[in-house]
Structure 1
């Protein structure tokens, strides 16, 4: 399974959490504690927000632990909000367009999980994507299709409702094809101000997802992670099963439950 993280707080260098913490995302690409597979070496990506509306984006097919460009970039780019992802490929090619995050205008999304037997309902799902967004699909993963399904069903207006709608669409199509345990996912989504964290599974056996709200130098910061980036001083809270957590620009938390 893939691993991902999201950060919001004062502007910091990307390397602070990507490289320098004692269980950093780069360390997890070599030795994950909570994923089904210990090594996640099928690509890496990071999207960060700065002074422009749209985020910067760096994606690579190289393993995160063996990417000198990433090390240089992370040591020189600072951001108050960024999302990063290490990939474990499940049946789709290892190519840059299949690496996360996925980006549309000011929106970023990272994903861990899968649509079970995706190939059986792929065409029907793609047909549910609006033409407005269809032209931006570059890769071949179910993750990217989920992103554009969310956009097609109102992500920019109401994130929670878009997620609930797409969950129901996927599960309904899967049921028609007798696909069990159709959806298992965690999502990280941002518009440059807020962060949404999603933990969901049709069979209520979701992949791990944690968050922590901390304070440093009198300022709040938020981390949402597939597994803890640091063992020791931080207090990690598990995101509830079948839930959407929204942290707004002022770090106010709102929980929405996704009902089966």
Structure 2
């Protein structure tokens, strides 16, 4: 359906990953070997927390319905700024129209969210799910995607106090409503969430066959594995990490797959994995 990338670490020019990597996000928009669709040209989004901003501040957003490979503004912007935490997303529309309000990431206060996947037969569930959004949050839903509804459901169900619990309750509600409507597999996808300090990356589907998700190895590990790449790795600080729909290069050991039904938590101490709505064997 889509491809996405989330970075956290020392301030970095986003173009380093979004444009310049061997298998960058822009290149994935043209050719995504691990994606459900090989081309993701139905718009894109870029969201970032400014380097000079106090942690927990509001992120900035740039959305466009242009294909990512064809947008000069994306190149100008990602080459001009530096950010310690940013999201980027390229879209393959699965039904909702191609418009800026349907481009990820989505934002509420200091939170950013993006999703690769879908809600099965969303049109059957939409009314029930939208009515479950807190009335104070409903006006902040500007587009028509199932992804934006998931985000606002999680906000309604406690995301700001406990991100994992909020997303858990939102997904459980989606599955409950879906099953009431006779939908066998209501939830599919990977999701990224941040408050400006931590990234939570979820991989989950009702079917247990979720979209792909990977995160990078630590920079020190990469230096040990590939000493010949020292000059290239100098672009990154020791705390640089990236979570991606698919690897940005083909180097063995550089990217590690996030297991099924898992949330990968990325903070100052590195990665931690926790089970997320694990299916019974």
1:250 Cα shift? 2.9
1:228 aligns with 2:228: no
2:121 equivalent to 1:121: no
Matches within 5 A, 1:243-254: 243-254=262-273
Identify the residue that residue 68 of structure 2 maps to in structure 1: 64
How far off is 1:254 after superposition? Answer: 4.0
- Give the paired residue count: 260
Indicate the residue corresponding to 1:45 in structure 2.
Answer: 45
Corresponding residue for 1:156? 160
- Structure 1 or 2, whichever has the larger Rg, is 2
Aligned to 2:97: 93
Is residue 30 of structure 2 the alignment partner of residue 11 of structure 1? no
CA RMSD of aligned residues (A): 1.3
CA distance in 2, matches of 1:239, 1:25: 18
1:187 aligns with 2:191: yes
Cα pair 1:30 1:65 within 8 Å, conserved: yes
Alpha-carbon distance in 1 for matches of 2:263, 2:107 = 20
Given that residues 213 and 221 in structure 1 are in contact (C-alpha distance below 8 angstroms), is that contact kept between their aligned partners in structure 2?
Answer: no
Partners of 1:244 and 1:258 within 8 A in 2: no
Equivalent pair of 2:266/2:272 in contact (CA under 8 Å) = yes
Q: Distance in 2 between matches of 1:81 and 1:38?
A: 27
Q: Structure 1 runs of 4+ off > 6 angstroms?
A: none
Distance 2:13 2:156 in 1: 34
Query: What residue number does 1:22 align with?
Result: 22
Q: Distance in 2 between matches of 1:236 and 1:116?
A: 29
CA distance in 2, matches of 1:254, 1:29: 28
Superposition deviation, residue 93 in structure 1: 0.6
Structure 2 unmatched runs, 5+: 220-232
Q: Distance in 1 between matches of 2:206 and 2:252?
A: 34
Work out whether residues 217 and 256 of structure 2, in 8 Å CA contact, stay in contact via their aligned partners in 1: no
Q: TM-score under structure 1 normalisation? A: 0.96
